[in-house]
Amino acid sequence: MEFEDRYRQAQKPKYDCLLFDLDDTLYPLSTGLAAGCRKNIGDYMVEKLAIDENKIADLCNLLYKNYGTTMAGLRAIGYDVDHDEYHSFVHGRLPYENLKPDPVLRHLLLGLPIRKVIFTNADKVHAAKVLSRLGLEGCFEGIICFETMNPIHKSTISDDEDDDIEFVGSSLSSTTTNSNEIFDIIGHFSQPNSGSKLPETPIVCKPSQDAIERALKIASINPQRTLFFEDSVRNIQSGKRVGLHTVLIGTSHRVKGADYAIESIHNIKEALPELWEAEKISEVSYPGKLTVETSVTA
């Protein structure tokens, strides 16, 4: 009996969830979507926020670096960006036609008898469009996206009755912003000893550790038993800090924080054959384990 227990323990699959980033993870950088996205973000800042074109490159770089996404940074420094308008402007004109159905990846994913969840900073319209273009509908249990992490226009809700969602910063009730209130982040970094503090953002997104922990909680994911697939090194490193096992996508060179590094998501079976080995074990020992319901927003 004792032997049997030990045997079962030894056979327990190491992972019970696979968490996937979307952009540049489930399809390659060469599709041009990331480049299109960067261009559209710049255009949005010039056209909609009347930011000087010459400042766009520096500003985008600083916002992305310090806040995770440009939009999170724009909100932090004082622009009252409408999330839906921003997302439709930035994603609306992307070359989605460059994304082709990927039956090989579909087959790989459907053959994995483990929970599969998407975790992206992008909005749900974009996520759905990408998955549909790639022919990956039905491959994932759910999608954790911008709307999941930042529930409906939280910035316009004055009464803070939802205790589950805590935001950093206290400017959420402010819906009006004028240019006088914009924090000069370029100036801030050009005078490193000025003593001024960077404003905080109300947007919850990767690579913030808090955002990752929140996503794990929403989808009832145990990081110790989860593999996280990501193309972003800083997201990988944050993921590692919260206890996830990590797979860096897009390069075979492992960096600090990455347990594995693979050039393409297509190499998953060569790099992690044990995921398929779990199939046999789970068929025998864990029938019905995959029908877990979560509150993930799909």
One DSSP character per residue, 85-136 reads HHHHHHHHTS-GGG----HHHHHHHHT--SEEEEE-SS-HHHHHHHHHHHT-
CB atoms within 10 A of CB 122: 23
Q: Which is nearer to Mg ion, 17 or 33 (CB)?
A: 33
Compute the least distance from the CB of residue 22 to Mg ion, in Å: 7
**Does 248 help bind Mg ion (rule: CB under 5 A)?**
no
b/e burial code for range 247-270 (CB count within 10 A of at least 16 → b): bbbbeeeeeebbebbbeebebbee
Compute the least distance from the CB of residue 212 to Mg ion, in Å: 14
Compute the least distance from the CB of residue 21 to Mg ion, in Å: 4
Q: Binder to Mg ion among 16, 123, 141, 231 (CB under 5 A)?
A: 231
Using a CB cutoff of 8 Å and minimum separation of 24, what contacts does 46-49 make?
48/85, 48/89, 49/74, 49/79, 49/81
**Does 134 help bind Mg ion (rule: CB under 5 A)?**
no
Q: Binder to Mg ion among 15, 17, 19, 23 (CB under 5 A)?
A: 23
Burial class, 298, CB count within 10 angstroms (exposed 0-12 / middle 13-18 / buried 19+): middle
Q: Which is nearer to Mg ion, 13 or 207 (CB)?
A: 207
Strands 17-20 and 226-230, sheet pairing: parallel
Compute the least distance from the CB of residue 251 to Mg ion, in Å: 13
Compute the least distance from the CB of residue 42 to Mg ion, in Å: 19
Compute the least distance from the CB of residue 62 to Mg ion, in Å: 20
**Does 24 help bind Mg ion (rule: CB under 5 A)?**
yes
Nearest residue to 81 (alpha-carbon basis) of 164, 8, 149, 182? 182
Q: Which is nearer to Mg ion, 65 or 280 (CB)?
A: 65
CA 189 – CA 149 distance, rounded (Å): 29
Compute the least distance from the CB of residue 250 to Mg ion, in Å: 9
Question: Residue 180: what residue type?
Answer: N
Tokens of 217: 């909680």
One DSSP character per residue, 190-244 reads HSTTS-PPPPPPS---TT-HHHHHHHHHHTT--GGGEEEEES-HHHHHHHHHTT-
Of the listed pieces 94-102, 189-197, 224-232, 250-258, which binds Mg ion according to CB under 5 A? Answer: 224-232
Q: Which is nearer to Mg ion, 16 or 231 (CB)?
A: 231
Q: Which is nearer to Mg ion, 120 or 201 (CB)?
A: 120
Number of residues counted as binding Mg ion (CB under 5 A): 4
Q: Binder to Mg ion among 16, 21, 102, 141 (CB under 5 A)?
A: 21
Compute the least distance from the CB of residue 121 to Mg ion, in Å: 8
Give 18's strand partners: 116, 227
Binding site for Mg ion (CB under 5 A): 21, 23-24, 231
